[in-house]
Every structure is written in structure tokens, then in C-alpha cells.
Structure 1
Amino acid sequence: MNNSKLDATYKRLRWQIIITTFLTYTVMYISRKAFAAAAPLLMKDLGMTMVQFGLASSIYYILYGLSKFSSGLLADRINPRLFLAPVLVVIAIINVGIGMTNSVSMLLVLYCLTAVVQGCGFPPIAKAISQWYSKSERGGWYSLWNTSHNVGGALAPLIASAVIAYTGNWRYAFYVPAGITAVQAVIAAILMRGKPENYGLPNVGEWRNDTKQLEINKRSETGLSMWVMFQRYILTNPIIWLAIGGDLCIYVIRTVSSDWVSVYFVDVLHWDLVRSNSLVAWFEAGGILGGLTSGIISDKFFGADRWKTILIYCFVLIAGMVGVGFTIHMSYLLVALCFFVIGAGIYAPQMLFALGIIEASHADGAGAATGLKGGVTYVGAALAGAPIAMIEKAYSWNGVFVLLAAIAVTLVILTCVIIRVDSKRLPM
């Protein structure tokens, strides 16, 4: 294959990969977040209590994290296409089942089942991105892909609210995403690809002559078993564990911000459902800005140093949280703008923690590294379920807000420790 044909093939497949993975994760989010968006009406119709809702969220995130961990170990050995298309089909089927149920118990079972399936989505995507985009450019590409979280997160409450308003039935908030997910399953089956070497292409580091990527390739031993690679490059890596701790903090704040917004603003401040859910859309829109800018900033201004960039956005997050406290009783627009800032301060570190963990690992360990991260950090998401409900019951929402402030401070401290440890770390 001559150089011009090689470049054209590589570029075409890279765009194919980024578009397919972007659409896949957007659709997965639309299906996943339908539950939170429809929660106020769903709880009223089926008689689900607030504690049951919180417990369901906690169980969901624990199962999601466990699934992410186990699927991450497999993702480094299996073609992403064999993961993503079947996963999307099963998600669509489960969403239809949730929409049809009249039992709280059955709804909870199906909701937990979808957690297991949803957890299989990210590791193969992380693997594909690590294989098709090299170290010095990956921040920008990963930022572009990462906005799928925000597009899906923003569309989910808007689609659910619009469908419920049009039909008067919360069940269609699950049927419509199921149809969208089924269509995406077909697209993923057709367009998803494995690593470049499977198609007669060189490693992406060689193709781009990226010295940073070639260093990662060089330090990554070949011929290792999955367990030896996992133990040597991931399980005993202090940078990865510190980053997981920081990401856990992010997940607690993020999950409270997205899952409890409609409940708090409808029940406590007596906003209507559409207005309350619109704050989630503002939150996700801010996340798009944060995710896009953070990757580019880390690539262009910090030499692909993810950790220093994270610290900048930690202070953006704190500024948004403080802003909500001051504006919550003043005006909708000011509160919405603060949620926009929080979204930027959440999704930038979340994206960069994932990227930093991938790059601190083995060149072929993206699935396992992100799987471990997901298995642990979704404990943080689980802590934003039933424990938040219990804290609110015991100490009111003020107690919840104090807890979130303490977690934000912990996030800053952990990030500073990562920067210090990474600066002293010898090359692997």
C-alpha cells in the first residue's frame, strides 16, 4: 500500500471510528438517563418512594461498575464490533420491558439488568480510541468523542420530557429511546472496526511518527498474558489509583447533579418538570464546552499533561457550585448558567482522568485500565443514590450540599498529589 493510499485509508477509518463510537455512546446515554428524567411521574404512578429511587440508583451504579470492570478485561482481547452491536440490541429490549412493567419490583430488576449491559459499552470504545489516535493528539480527539456524554445527557431529559408532554405517559420515555438504540445497533455492526493492524495498517504511533506514543509502545512489554499485563502495568500503578480516587470524587458530584436535580427542584422549590429537567441540559451543555476545551488545552499548552489541566477545571467546578448556592433563589437564568459552569468543571476532569489512566497503562491495556477505573469510580456514583437520600432525610438538603463541598476540596487535594507523584515518577 503506497503512502497516499495508506494515509487516505487511515484518515477515513479514523473518522468512521470516532463517528460510530460517538453515536453509540450518545444513544446509550439517551437510554440510560430516561429513568432519571421520568422519575417524578414514574414514582407517582407506580408508588415508588424516594428511598427506593435512591436505592435503585445505588444498585445500578454498583452493577454498572462491576460490569465495566469485567468487560474491560475482555475488551482488550475481543473486536469492539462484537461488543457494541449486541450490547445496543439488549439495551433496546430492556427499555421496552421497563416501559411495559406495572410492578416496582420488576422495574427495579430490569433497571439493574440494563446496568450490567450498559457497563459493557465504554471499555471497547476506549480501546478503539487508544488504538486509532496517538498520545500527542489523543486529547483533542478524545475531547470530541467525550461530548457524546453531554449530547446524550442533554437529549435524554429533553426527549423524555417532550415525549411525556406529548403522550401524557411516562412509558414512552423508554419506548422512544429503545427504537433509537435499535437503529444504532445496526450502524455499529456495519461501521465499527478493530485495531489498525487488522487491516494491514501500521500502529498509529508509527503512522504519525508520534514520539510520545512510541515511548508508550516501547515501555509496554509484548507477549504478556492478560493477568500479568493487568497486574504489572495497572494494578500496582500508583498514578492510576490516585487518578481513580479523583475520578470517584467527580462521579459523586456529577451523579448528584444529574440524577437528583429534577427531584430537588420539583419537590423542594416547586419548579415544573420541564424547567427542572432543563437544568440537566444546561449542565450537559457546559460539559460539552469543558470536555472539548480540556483535551485541546492539555495537548497544546501542557504537552499532553492531563493532570495540570484537571486542576484548572477543579476550580471551575468549585466556582459553579458556589454560584448555585448564591443564585438558587434569585433567577432561573443565573442558576442555569451555574449548572453550565458545573458541567464544564465536571466533564473536563472526568474525560482527562480516563485519558490519563489509559496513557499511564500498557499500550494494549486501555480496556482493562478503564474497566478498573469504572469498577471503582462507579462506587462514587452509587454513593450518590441511597446514601444521598438518607443524608437528605437526616440532615436535609443542606447536609447534602456540605458533603458535596467536602468532596470538591478532596478532589483538588488528590489532583495536587497526582501532579507531584507524576513529576517524580521514573519512566517505566
Structure 2
Amino acid sequence: MMNLFSWWKTGEDKPIITDKTQISKLYNRKRSSVIWSVVLGYGVFYIGRLTISVAKKPMMDAGILTPVELGIIGALLFYSYAFGKLTNGFLSDRANIRKFISTGLAVSALMNLAFGMTTSFVVMAGLWFVNGWFQSMGSAPCVVSLTQWFSNKERGTKYGIWAASHNIGEGLTFIGTSTIVAMFGWKMGFIGPGAVCLIVAVILYYTLADRPETYGLPNISDYKQDFSAGKPKKKSIKDFQLQVLKSRVVWKVGLAATFLYTCRYAIHSWGPLYLQEAKGFTLIEAGTIMGVNTMLGLAGAIFSGWFSDRFFNAKRNVPALIMGILLTTSLLGLQAAPQNNFIFNVAALGLFEFTLGSLVVYIGGLWAVDLLPTKAAGSVKGIIGIFSYIGAATQDWISGLLIENSKTTVNGIENYNFDTVFTFWIVSSVIAILIPLSLWKEKSNE
């Protein structure tokens, strides 16, 4: 195990290259490779954990799992993911991101392949728990890489582009995996995505990068002459991490993220089932609706960084409040949308995904990353991550329990009512935006 940690460790700093042309050429090449790699890589991470959302109804119909068992399996992944994000967030501040991320995605791929080859609830639960831990090696390391290769003034835009990657992954999962499941059965819904994840993990090993200093390049702030968050301080990583732990900012944003991720994964985990049971759509129709609308989430994520950088001087408070109000409005609209009314349901879900895409950028990390030292960006994401996915995990088993308790059987056909669980989701969206309002006047601190 110690050999693995040593292998993951970031490299030693090399002497700074003296040729400015060579520095610029190498920086440009690495920055280009890093941004497309974190977008591709993190998008594929989502394929490796959302497969079960699409396969829920076929697995229930086949008698493989009940809603309660599915809720437990989903919760196990999220709890494991939450604590993994905290641990791996702190580790990623000291890690070679290229090796760290590719390892996580490769093991997640193997868990998906194995999941598609069993029907045992206990084995499935164990595999999905392990999957959650290695899935947590994606988010924080990606943010660490962005802070290493992009300066403060450009970080909002680049963070927004990266955050859109999860929408790409979700869209591919909801559309692609639902089609695979409908044509070949639920088992292939895990085996196919698992194979894709494994291939991409190998690609990332060659396209991601360690810190600029390990290639003989200057710190990004010095290279871009961007000291808008203050000049980098000469502290150890440990000192920066302790500063993060003592900050009220990270804890408040984390608490808000708990409730944001409650309603986020309420829709993404149970949305396909909801559209089939409550709205009357088929599996492929539900998957297509979810998948197409996640592209609006992609637009919202990209828009968020540019919008706040361009019109609010890289402040996230006002844009977050606007998007939060619209998020709650969208959930109310989705609940009220008539059954089989395609346009109304798609419009409400589209607004949800767009505003969610923006809020995942703001509350899911960028707001706190802006306000706290970038040298501890992984720790910031790790703390927010454990809050986020404790919310997602708790939501999953509570939602599963509420849905199971709403079940009625008429002429041997089981039906589910979503009124109670939807109220739970809406209240969570309101709380998510109220908490961070207390950070309205906080300023950046490099």
C-alpha cells in the first residue's frame, strides 16, 4: 500500500526553464491537454456511477431488487463516495493527478463489469460501495489540476467548462445506457459502460499532467502575472489545509451543498423511474428526456463561470441566488406538469438542469475555491464533497423508503405515488440557497 501512495505522490520540482518561448510552448500544450482531459475524464466517471439509475425499473420488474434495496445500494455508493472525497481531496493536494485520476476510473470500471455479472444483493451492495470510493478520485483531483494550470481570473470560465463534463456523462448515460438496457437487458447496462470507463482510464494516464513545477515551469500565478487573489504564500500544504479546516466559508458552503445534492440526485437517481411511473413515459422516452435535458445542464455550467466572471467580477453570490430561485421554481413546475405532456415536462426538467448546472459550479466548489487558498483546493473540494454526498446518500435511502411506502397494488399491478417524496426534494432546494447568503461579503484569499 505504501508503494502505491509513493507512486501517486507528485514529482519533485525541476529547475525553472530559462527560455521564455519554451515555457510558453510547453504551458500551452499542457494546459490544452489538461482541460480536455479533465472534461472527458470526469464525464466518463459519471457513466461509471449513474448506470444503476437507468437500470432501476428493469431490475425491479425482473424481481432482482426492490426500491428499498436499490435505495440502500445507492446510499452505500454515496456514503463511500462522500468519505472518499474527503480523504482523496486531501491526498490530491499532494498527488500526481495523472496517476491518481486514472487509477480511480480504472477500478470503477472493474466494479461496473463485476456488477453486471451478479444478481446477489449483498455482492451488488459491496461492489457499489467500493465503486463509490474509487469514484471519489475524480472531482477533487480535477479541481486541483485546474488550479495548478489556470490562474484566478480565468478559473471561473475553465471551471465552468470542466463542470459541464458531468452533464456530458449524465447525458451519455441516460440516453446511451437506457438504449443498451432496453435492447440487451440490465446486465449489459453495466458491462458496456464499464468497458468504456476502462478504455478512457488508459487514455487519461497519458494525457493528464502533474504540477507545472515538475516540468520546470513557473507557478501559474507568476506565468500569467495574475495576483488578483494575492501573491502565493510560502506555506506548506499542511498549513494551507489547516487554514481551510478553520474557515467558516468551507463549512457553510458544504452545508448548502448537502441540500443542493439532495435535490440533484433525487432527480438523477429517481428521475427515470418518476417519469415512467408518474408521467407515463417508456424507459427509452424517460432516458431520452433525462439525457437531452442534461445538455442544458452543460450549458448552465459553462454559462455560470462566464456569467459571473464577465458581469459580476468573479463574484458568485448574486448569480447563485438567481439560479437558486429558478431551481425551486423548476421543481414546482415538474411536479405540476400533466401526465404525458411532453412539452411541459421537458421544459420544467430543462430549467431544472440549466439552473442545477450553474449551482453545482457555484455551491459545488467554485465559490469556496475562490475564497480559500488554491494550494489546498483539493481539501476544499474534499470537505464540500463529503457534505454533498452525505446529502445525496441520505436522500437515496429516504427517497427509496418514501417511494416504497407509497406503493399501491391494483389488479396485481404495482403503482407508486411521488407526492410526499417530491415535497422533500423541493424543501431541500430552498434550504440549499438560503445558507450561502451568509457569505455575501466574503473576499478571496490566496
TM-score category of the 2 structures, normalised to the smaller one = over 0.9
Match of 2:79 in 1: 62
- Of the three residues 407, 417, 423, the one matched with 1:402 is 423
- Of the three residues 391, 411, 415, the one matched with 2:432 is 411
2:424 partner letter: L
- Of the three residues 119, 127, 137, the one matched with 2:154 is 137
Match of 1:223 in 2: 236
Query: 1:299 and 2:309 equivalent?
Result: yes
Q: Which stretch of the first structure deviates more once superposed, 262-271 or 135-144?
A: 262-271
Q: Which stretch of the first structure deviates more once superposed, 401-410 or 350-359?
A: 401-410
> Structure 2 CA distance, aligned partners of 1:191 and 1:133?
17
Is contact 1:282–1:336 with CA below 8 Å preserved after alignment?
Answer: no
Q: Counterparts of 1:117-156 in structure 2 under 5 Å?
A: 117-156=134-173
Q: Which stretch of the first structure deviates more once superposed, 395-404 or 198-207?
A: 395-404
Match of 2:354 in 1: 344
Match of 2:383 in 1: 372
- Of the three residues 162, 187, 209, the one matched with 2:203 is 187
Query: 1:210 and 2:226 equivalent?
Result: yes
Q: Which stretch of the first structure deviates more once superposed, 402-411 or 286-295?
A: 402-411
Is contact 1:46–1:102 with CA below 8 Å preserved after alignment?
Answer: no
Q: Which stretch of the first structure deviates more once superposed, 357-366 or 26-35?
A: 357-366
Match of 2:321 in 1: 311
Deviations 1:299-323 (A, max 9, x none): 1111111222211211221221222
Q: Counterparts of 1:161-172 in structure 2 under 5 Å?
A: 161-167=178-184, 169-172=185-188
> Structure 1 CA distance, aligned partners of 2:31 and 2:398?
42
Is contact 2:77–2:393 with CA below 8 Å preserved after alignment?
Answer: yes
Q: Counterparts of 1:43-62 in structure 2 under 5 Å?
A: 43-62=60-79
- Of the three residues 193, 196, 210, the one matched with 1:177 is 193
Shift of residue 229, structure 1, vs aligned partner: 2.9
What's the secondary structure of 2:281's corresponding residue?
coil
Q: Give the structure-2-normalised TM-score.
A: 0.89
Is contact 2:372–2:445 with CA below 8 Å preserved after alignment?
Answer: no
Shift of residue 77, structure 1, vs aligned partner: 0.9
> Structure 2 CA distance, aligned partners of 1:303 and 1:262?
38
Match of 1:254 in 2: 264
Decide whether aligned partners of structure 1 residues 189 and 323 sit closer, same or farther in structure 2, where only a CA change above 3 A counts.
same
User: Alignment identity in percent?
Assistant: 23
Shift of residue 20, structure 1, vs aligned partner: 1.0
1:97 partner letter: A
> Structure 1 CA distance, aligned partners of 2:96 and 2:444?
33
Unmatched segments (≥5 aa) in structure 2: 1-17, 407-416
2:198 partner letter: A
CA RMSD of aligned residues (A): 1.9
> Structure 1 CA distance, aligned partners of 2:24 and 2:245?
36
Shift of residue 46, structure 1, vs aligned partner: 4.7
Is contact 1:58–1:383 with CA below 8 Å preserved after alignment?
Answer: yes
1:325 partner letter: Q
Decide whether aligned partners of structure 1 residues 170 and 207 sit closer, same or farther in structure 2, where only a CA change above 3 A counts.
same
> When you count helix as a share of all residues, which structure comes out higher?
1
Is contact 1:282–1:337 with CA below 8 Å preserved after alignment?
Answer: no
- Of the three residues 108, 112, 137, the one matched with 1:95 is 112
Is contact 2:44–2:197 with CA below 8 Å preserved after alignment?
Answer: yes
What's the secondary structure of 1:260's corresponding residue?
helix
Deviations 1:322-379 (A, max 9, x none): 2213323361122112111101111211112211222222221011110111112111
Is contact 1:46–1:104 with CA below 8 Å preserved after alignment?
Answer: no
Q: Counterparts of 1:68-87 in structure 2 under 5 Å?
A: 68-87=85-104
2:278 partner letter: V
Is contact 1:261–1:277 with CA below 8 Å preserved after alignment?
Answer: no
1:132 partner letter: W
- Count of residues in Structure 1 that have an aligned counterpart in Structure 2: 418
> Structure 1 CA distance, aligned partners of 2:236 and 2:378?
17
> Structure 2 CA distance, aligned partners of 1:221 and 1:419?
28
Shift of residue 265, structure 1, vs aligned partner: 2.4
Is contact 2:371–2:444 with CA below 8 Å preserved after alignment?
Answer: no
Q: Counterparts of 1:384-399 in structure 2 under 5 Å?
A: 384-393=395-404, 396-399=417-420
1:171 partner letter: K
Unmatched segments (≥5 aa) in structure 1: none
Query: 1:325 and 2:335 equivalent?
Result: yes
> Structure 2 CA distance, aligned partners of 1:325 and 1:223?
50
> Structure 2 CA distance, aligned partners of 1:336 and 1:426?
38
Is contact 1:46–1:103 with CA below 8 Å preserved after alignment?
Answer: no
> Structure 2 CA distance, aligned partners of 1:80 and 1:426?
25
Is contact 1:89–1:181 with CA below 8 Å preserved after alignment?
Answer: yes
Decide whether aligned partners of structure 1 residues 362 and 427 sit closer, same or farther in structure 2, where only a CA change above 3 A counts.
closer
1:192 partner letter: L
Q: Counterparts of 1:27-38 in structure 2 under 5 Å?
A: 27-38=44-55
Match of 1:22 in 2: 39
Is contact 1:94–1:114 with CA below 8 Å preserved after alignment?
Answer: yes
Q: Give the structure-1-normalised TM-score.
A: 0.93
Deviations 1:82-129 (A, max 9, x none): 212222221121111011112122112111111111011212111100
> Structure 2 CA distance, aligned partners of 1:359 and 1:149?
21
Deviations 1:356-412 (A, max 9, x none): 222222221011110111112111101221111223455752222222222222223
Match of 2:290 in 1: 280
Is contact 2:75–2:397 with CA below 8 Å preserved after alignment?
Answer: yes
2:280 partner letter: H
Decide whether aligned partners of structure 1 residues 412 and 368 sit closer, same or farther in structure 2, where only a CA change above 3 A counts.
closer
Is contact 2:250–2:383 with CA below 8 Å preserved after alignment?
Answer: no
What's the secondary structure of 1:384's corresponding residue?
helix
Shift of residue 426, structure 1, vs aligned partner: 9.3
